[in-house]
Amino acid sequence: MKKDAGGEVSECLFIDEPDPFKEKWVGAKISIEEAQALSGIEDVRYNTELESFILQETRFDNLYFDFTMPKHQSFATSDPQVKLLFADMELQNLQPYLTAMRLIKKPEEVQALRDAIEITAKGIDAILENLKPDMKEYQIQAVFEYTINMLGAQGVSFQTIAASGKSATVLHYIKNQATMKGSDMVLLDLGARYKGYCGDISRTFPVSGAYTDEQAMVYNMVLEAQRELIQMYQPGAKMLDIQQATKDIFLEKCLKNNIVPKNKDINEFYYHGIGHSLGLDTHDTNDKREYILEPGMVITCEPGLYIAEMGMGVRIEDDILVTENGPENLSPQIPKDIDIIEKRMKG
Instruction: Count CB-CB contacts under 10 A for residue 26.
Output: 8
- Tell me which of 60-69, 186-195, 260-269 is least confident: 60-69
CATH of domain 2-101: 3.40.350.10
Task: Quote the mean pLDDT of the chain.
Answer: 91
Domain ranges of the chain: 2-101, 104-346
Q: For the residues 144-159, what does the mean pLDDT come to?
A: 98
Q: What is the pLDDT of residue 68?
A: 61
- Report which of 194, 314, 209, 324 is spatially closest to residue 254, judged by C-alpha positions: 314
Q: Please work out, in degrees rounded to the nearest 5, the angle formed at the alpha carbon of residue 287 by the alpha carbons of 41 and 70.
A: 65
288 burial level (CB within 10 Å; 0-12, 13-18, 19+)? exposed
The residue among 2 and 110 whose pLDDT is bigger is 110
CATH of domain 104-346: 3.90.230.10
**DSSP character string of 225-260:** HHHHHHTT--TT-BHHHHHHHHHHHHHHHHHHTT-S
Instruction: Count CB-CB contacts under 10 A for residue 196.
Output: 12
In the predicted model, is pLDDT for residue 203 greater than 60? Answer: yes
In the predicted model, is pLDDT for residue 74 greater than 60? Answer: no
Q: 221: Cβ–Cβ under 8 A, 6 or more apart, which residues?
A: 250, 253, 254, 257, 259, 305, 314
Q: For the residues 175-196, what does the mean pLDDT come to?
A: 98
Distance CA 36, CA 159 (A): 32
For the question of whether the overall pTM of this predicted structure is more than 0.85, the answer is: yes
In the predicted model, is pLDDT for residue 187 greater than 60? Answer: yes
Going from the C-alpha of 143 to that of each of 14, 120, 135, the distances in angstroms are 40, 12, 11
In which element (H, E) is residue 219 found?
Answer: helix 213-230
Q: What is the pLDDT of residue 7?
A: 77
Q: For the residues 302-322, what does the mean pLDDT come to?
A: 98
Q: What is the CA radius of gyration of the chain?
A: 24
Distance of CA 218 to the CA centre of its chain: 25
pLDDT digits (tens, 9 = 90+) for 225-276: 999 999 999 999 999 999 999 999 999 999 999 988 777 899 999 999 999 9
- Report which of 258, 116, 135, 125 is spatially closest to residue 191, judged by C-alpha positions: 116
